Chain A
Amino acid sequence: MIGTISLATSLFFALLAAMAYGYVMKVKADRDRARCWGRRSLFGACLSAVVASAYLWAMILGDHFEIAYVANYSSRELPLMYKISAFWAGQQGSLLLWMLVHALASLYLCGRERMTAAGLTVYAVLESLLVILVLAKSPFVASATAVQDGVGLNPMLQDPWMAVHPPIIFIGYALLAVPFAYALGALLKEEAKENWLDPARRWALIAWGFLGAGVFIGGYWAYKVLGWGGYWGWDPVENSSLVPWLLAGVFVHVLHVAKRRPAALLVLHLSVIFTFALVIYGTFLTRSGILGDFSVHSFSGTSIGMTLAVANAVVLIGGLVLLALKAGSLPQGKVYEEYASREFCLLLGALLLVFIAAIVFIGMSMPLFTQLLGKPAAVDTDFYVRTTLPLAIAMCLVMAAGSCLCYGKQAEPFHRAVPAALAVIGFALAFLAGVRSPGLLVLAAVSILLLGETLVSWRRNLLRFGAMAAHSGIALALFAMVLSGGASQSLSQEFKPGDSAQIAGHTVTYEGQAFADDSTMKFYCYRVDGSEVRAMTKLHRNGEDAAREPAIAHMLTGDIYIAPTPPKDTGRMELILKRGRMGMGDLFAYRYDDVTMEDQPDGTMLVTAAIAVTDGETVEHAQPAIIATRDGGTSTPVPVFGGQKRIRLTGISANDSQARLEILPSAEEEAQIAVTASVSTKPFIYLLWIGAVAASLGCFAAMRR
């Protein structure tokens, strides 16, 4: 109740703020009072958002499974860190988080004339839209049935990187609303560009930095946890965060042109409208369930699609109509004088970014467009690689040229020897590392050229520190993408414990399985050139695999990446026993004698079967048990005959006449099973992480005036 009321209050205040600031913008009388009302309303909206969020957290931490969201994403046993992050594990909570960040930012913006009334009107309208989205898919809906324990957080997502990934992305999304509001506010009031360009630039840079860091963390997690060997799969969910990132890059760069050449303001407005519209479009695409059959990220179909589509139309059409109406008042003129000028390079670079964004946009939207036309289709990921490669090469050249040019007319002529030498070095390094694809070799050459030119321009004071860090980060990341992808070697084979394989001069030896003492995890242990690495598998309480992670050995030349696949034959077998009858296992015979059921205080039921086990001479009695819940149960294996076999109760028929048992080999035997693994090298992949971190930090450093 408290949650829904807070949301409704928040909506009320956000609308009130929009009206108050709208009044300040349009009417001359009583401005100060209206402004005061606007500020109070924004505070009210923010306070309600904080209350709603605090309430959701309290519900999660207090195990209140009567709320469906808590039941779906949390459970009693979930560690505290993941209970906190369960807040944004599902879409309802993510949207609430987005709304919270948006509201918190408004507290800063409405103070000390930081933003005009027109800007704040736009911002408050966006806030209302967000609250409506949260209300349309509220996280506070009650569970349909009484629930004793939640289903918990997907074990694959129980990783520190995944705990911080969504909030970082959503901070980026939320803060992109600020430059949008500045730009539209400026259009509404036909404001002088000096007043809003600088704060818009700084907010866009923070948002850009967060969004980039979020995208990067997602990729790093995929590499470290998912075990398919890559960091980027061109999946719609990934693409939908990449497109706003690319377009925010357009905004940040065109802004520098607009500062000196007012005619670029039109492009600047367009870029910010499309950036924010695509933030919402991405959310729509990934959260509406339209891509269910095309994406590996399973989001089931939901009712929120229509609301999101409407919000998207409001932002896009509203922004474009306003721009069309006011386009006449924008300054006209030349946006560049000469080709050899920084303006021209900035604009050409922006155009290339738009091209990349358009390609990714078309690719990720294909399922939607073709579905509307009646013949669903998707594009192969090959499409993205083939088309973005030449663009990335052009991008590097434009960035390198732009950074050693200044605005307006050039005093110094271009020097050619240094860039040519750099390109040769890049080409040679990649070739020596083993890259043979011509396109990738060219990309390696131009990325090193870019890296060198960026550093030279920084020394010559043509680039600021932030831009230098961001640009060299991008150059380094591209170079690392070429090496880690283009020079990667791989093999796939079956390893018995003690078996070795040679790859790129390294020896990989499989040493067998090991189990954690509390049996929540097992490990596949490998030795790579003498140092031990382990691939972790998280286990369900019943001993089945819950999530697998690869083993990664880090070296100066890059990573050795080992992804074991679960063994085909685990030596397990299933027996169905009629009450009182014997059933044969491969070593012992089993008889199901009796069953007892006890209700537990926490609402579950303990089902214990009495099983007699014999090797033909002696008889042993075992009591395997299931803790039964409404939707299934969990059971732990119990050892028989000194651990020679382990047995696990997996089911009892409705009338108690049959019991289902799983017979497991001894722990030692299981450790000896042969395991197929794919082993690959990822040369110099750490340069990619370094580059990505530098690119994000560069954004924050560039914020300084």
Chain B
Amino acid sequence: MSLAELEAARKRTLLASGVLYSLVGVLFLLGLGGRGWAFLLGAILAFFARLLIGAFQAEVKKALVSPMASAMGFRCSPGRGFSREEALASGLFPSPDRYEAEDLVEGEVSGIPFTSSDIALYRKVRVKSGNVNTYRYQKFFGGTLYRFHLPFPVGGEVRFGPRGRGMGVVDRGLLLIGTIVIGGGFLIVTLATFSEELSVRDVLPFYAFLALFAFLFFATTLGGKKGLQRVVLESPEFERLYDAYGDQVEARKVLTPRVQEALVRLRAYLGGPVWGAVRGRDLWLAVEGRDRFPVPVLRPVGETLEAWKARYREELLEASRVVEVLKLEEEARRRGVL
């Protein structure tokens, strides 16, 4: 499909969805006037409008992502992504109940080979409604996973992630529920002690049980991999944004002040949480919550394509700068500068 055809499709979608949303507005006002059926009809029309926009966005992505990647010298397979095993091999994610991946892009940036893919990881949760239990999948990570191939192997394993968010991506829903249960438990037992419903002697086993439960819960959800220690680094900016883990000496060999600086800049550019792992010859970066190829209906398709190109190239350059710094440090070491 050509750009002109896509632009015509955009105008049609914009017109149709505009009409539908106007009707939704009118129906909403009617609903406020006491006509209950208007709310239902408005919701149905809003759903159809959203469907129309979604179909158009999918069509644009399908038609443009692959040629754009090819034009930039990359290979793109929109229907493919990192396999579940590959994503888990990064060590950044807990095993999900459902896994989705798409938009696999492979290529080289500044001489550094990379592969990237949009991925989504889901946890199966039980929803109780009356006496009926239903299950649904709740997303706990959605974003882009990058793998950069380092020109030299790295000893041991180094990980870093957003400050206070653990060694890898954490199921935040589960963490929140656990924290509420544990915090609530401590609060209830303490209040019961003050109101003298429970004696101190009665309360001690409760505290012991809650402390043990809290330890086991946080160790399993946040603990991550055994043998990796928290590594405190010298850059205050890095420490404000990230927590790093690994062997105290090996991790510092990778996360030199210059690499820390590059990671701080990457985080500032992306604006969202970034997790990373360096293992063997691979640098993995997981960037949360980013649609790499957004399709705003209000913007002409040609402009969207230009924005994609600029943003995608810049994002890759920013990420590859981390590898470049690693490469430069390795070269400097080899030549005896450091």
A-B interaction: no
